[in-house]
Each structure stands twice: as structure tokens, then as C-alpha cells.
Amino acid sequence: MSPAGGGVLPGGAGEVGGASAGVGGASGGAGSAPGPAGGTPSRAGRELAAACALTLAGALVVLLAGGQRWVPAHLADPTTGSRLAPAAHALALVALAGVVALLAARRWGRIVVGAALVVTGVVIASVAVPRLGTAGVLWPALTRLGGLLVLAAGALTVFRGRTWPALGARYDAPAARPTDADAWAALDRGEDPTAG
């Protein structure tokens, strides 16, 4: 807009540019500010990694134990853990899917995933307990340990999951910063580009 058309003072362009730069600087400063105490990005990322690692480790332990013979081979009907405790084997696969869900979900969705992992871990540990007296001790005990690991991951997710970053957060479009052209367009509309 020319000075003749709208009566804008000669120094107005510099003032608008300075205001725009100030808005951009404030926006950049807000993006680099640290998060609230106890919820910094680095800590949140470590907690998410810990929950995923616990879930993955617990599921793999259960699957490993389920593939072993829980009844000694010299007995008439030696059988594996996946046949004696099929629910534990199936829920270990659910826990593996939970690792992907932990990474993909956000906020309250992640809390739901955490609650599901808690239930999964409890069931895995409970179905292994009755087998401790009827089968060998090692593999049922490892199955129970795997369930407890999944339970711990779920509990951590329920209490802390809302603060964790999401898998696609880094791909979100950044907030657009106002430009000089935007400021001139606002002036043409009779608006103050520095307001708000």
C-alpha cells in the first residue's frame, strides 16, 4: 500500500518489519523453551523407551518360555508351555502389538494402551502361577516374570504416558510465522498486524 493511498508514514514499513521480526523471535523463543519440571522432552523420551523395552522384553520372555518343555521329557506326556498355558502365549503376542501402540498413540489413547498392558501382564502372571507346582519351576517362573515386566510397563504408561512424545510428532507442520507481506495485507484490511 503506497503512502499516497493510505497515508502510511515513511517509517511504517520499518516498524511493521520490526514488529514482524519480534513476533517471529517470540515464536522461536517459545519453541525452544524447556518443558515443565519433570516433563522435559529428554526425560519423556527415556520413559517411553523404558516402557517399550519392558513390554518387548516381557513378551519375548513369555514366548521363549512358552516354546520350552515345562513337563520333564521322561514323563509319559511331555509338553510345552504354549500348550499348558495357551493364554500366556496369546497375550504375549498382544503385548508385542502393544509396543507399536505405545509409539503410535497420543495422550489418552496411550493411557488406554497402558491399562490394557496392565491387564495383559496380570493375566500372564496369574496363568503361570498354577503351573509352578505341576511342571518344572524354571519356565513357568520366567513366564510369570515376563508378565510382571509387561505389568510394570503398563503401570508406567498409565501414570506418565500423557507427557510422552508421539511417533508422528516430529512430522507435524510447524506453526507459520507472520511475514512482511502478511503485515501489509493486514494493514490493507484495516487491521493492526501487531495485535495479539
Enumerate the domain spans of the chain. 41-72+83-167
Instruction: Name the residue among 10, 6, 27 with its Cα closest to residue 185.
Output: 6
pLDDT in tens, 44-65: 888 889 999 999 999 999 998 8
Q: Once rounded to an integer, what is the mean pLDDT over residues 146-161?
A: 93
CA angle 108/110/111 to nearest 5° reads 65
Q: Is the pTM of this model over 0.75?
A: no
The rounded radius of gyration (Å) of the Cα atoms in the chain is: 29
Q: Report d(CA 173, CA 108) in Å as an integer.
A: 22
Render 125-167 in DSSP notation, one character per residue: HHHHGGGGTTS-SHHHHHHHHHHHHHHHHHHHHHHHGGGSPPT
